[in-house]
Amino acid sequence: MKLKTIIPALIALVLFSSCKTQYEVLLGSNDADAKYELAFQLFNEGKYSKAGTMFESLSMLTNGTERDDTVRFYWGLSNYKFKDYYTAETNFENFLENYPRSPFASEARYLRLDCLYRETLRYELDQQPTYKAMTEISEYMLEFPETPHMQTCKDMLLDLGERLDRKAYESAKLYYKMEDYLASRVAFRNVLKEDSENIYREDILYYIAMSSYNYAANSVQAKQKERYLTFIDDYYNFIGEIPESKYRRELDNVYKKAQRALGRDVAIEDEEMTDRDFAKERKALLKEERKNSKK
């Protein structure tokens, strides 16, 4: 009875073994040459996930041999082609630590940067990966000024910089949306203090002025005058820098409201006023503000 039980089990085991693919058989073998050949075959056929797994398995056999840098580079490249950028970045980082003079080192260094760039997150999320990528890309450009990837690196830096600009702009804008106009003005001014070249500079200056106006309009009467004067100062800063802005008409109208709130007639249409007129009026307002502050 025992023999009758064992024989079918052995037959089933043999049949199961025979059903294993060449890939599965070689993955668990120690035949470095056969694994090497199959790994590249899979890579060339675009089967990058399987190629990466085969190169990873092969790396344990080629460690310390002449083939090792090739195997480890293509392990990373397979993961890169498979769009597993996190694993690929780790592969390339380890590769560069172990083989900084390899013929593949230059390409591995660039591909690692590309992985870091692709690992960055949307502007709404944590931007630490963005800062890391920008630092690494900048260092690469300084170290390799003749790299054929220079323009791509510049484009990556530009995109990442714009992402940080938007992050800062949208974060400050949240205060405006919540109608916390004092905090909004402070937040927007801090954005420009940290980065005067922010690509949203025009919008930021607009929201600084509108924050000042809304803060004044919603203040108790005793505080309104000095706060409207702050808005007028922000208004002049805006039109002095961007006189043809898309926000100009709206801010001109708000300016008239502020002047009326201060008990002044705005007899001249703003579009007819010259820069000299604006400068004179601004100077008078600041003088009045200083005078009142000494009382």
Q: Does domain 179-293 sit in CATH 2.60.40.640?
A: no
Domain residues of the chain, as ranges? 25-164, 179-293
Q: pLDDT band at residue 160, thresholds of 50, 70 and 90? A: very high
Range in 6-10, 95-99, 179-183, 289-293 with the lowest mean pLDDT? 6-10
Mean per-residue pLDDT for 165-174? 96
How far apart are alpha carbons 84 and 278 in whole angstroms? 58
Q: What is the largest CA-CA distance in the chain?
A: 114
Q: Which of 282, 252, 254, 283 is nearest to 268 (CA)?
A: 252
How far apart are alpha carbons 191 and 168 in whole angstroms? 6
Q: Please, are residues 110 and 144 in contact by the beta-carbon 8 Å criterion?
A: no
Alpha carbon of residue 90 to chain centroid:
20
pLDDT reading at 201 higher than 50: yes
203 against 122, higher pLDDT? 203
Q: What is the pLDDT of residues 227-251, one digit of tens each?
A: 999 999 999 999 999 999 999 999 9
Domain 25-164 belongs to what topology? 1.25.40
Q: Enter the tokens of residue 168.
A: 């800062």
Instruction: Tell me what pLDDT residue 198 has.
Output: 96
| CA geometry: angle 126, 194, 120, nearest 5 deg | 25
In this chain, the answer to whether the domains covering 25-164 and 179-293 adopt an identical fold is: yes
